[in-house]
Amino acid sequence: MSLIVPYTREEQMDRAHTAQPTKEMDFYAEKYHNHMIELFPSPTMDITIEIRSNQSFVQFLRAETTEEHSLQILAMLLLFSEGVNIPIEVTNKKLKVYETDKKDKIYFEVSMAIPWLDITASETKRFE
């Protein structure tokens, strides 16, 4: 007889796993996950990729203010995952990506405020 324990995930509790000192891949995965959290912070600490939530990674990439640079953002994440250091500055309002050889020159900048439709109030709001 096996015991079945119900599990309910709480997205607000998602965190990057701490790397184990003997596994190089763990350091890589931890750094990658931390970059994802830095690039796409959430005031409610929800870490989402694509769900019906009004605050997801895919919605960020599809936002009118971001769409022009969405492929660059995805490429940047790939480069981060390969250990390439890309100078960025992230706040609740802006993501700034700097030229790698000119640290003071901005390569591109996007708003971190994502517009979304509040169906209950029938109005557009912004996550910041």
How confident is the model over 5-15, as pLDDT tens digits? Answer: 777 767 666 66
For residue 17, the model assigns a pLDDT of 60
For residue 106, the model assigns a pLDDT of 92
**What is the C-alpha separation between 18 and 31, in angstroms, rounded?**
9
**What is the C-alpha separation between 69 and 96, in angstroms, rounded?**
11
Which residues of the chain have a pLDDT value below 70?
1-2, 9, 11-26, 40-56, 116-119, 123-128
Residue 33 host element (H or E): helix 24-39
Task: Evaluate if pTM is beyond 0.75.
Answer: no
For residue 46, the model assigns a pLDDT of 58
**What is the C-alpha separation between 60 and 82, in angstroms, rounded?**
23
For residue 98, the model assigns a pLDDT of 92
For residue 12, the model assigns a pLDDT of 64
For residue 128, the model assigns a pLDDT of 55
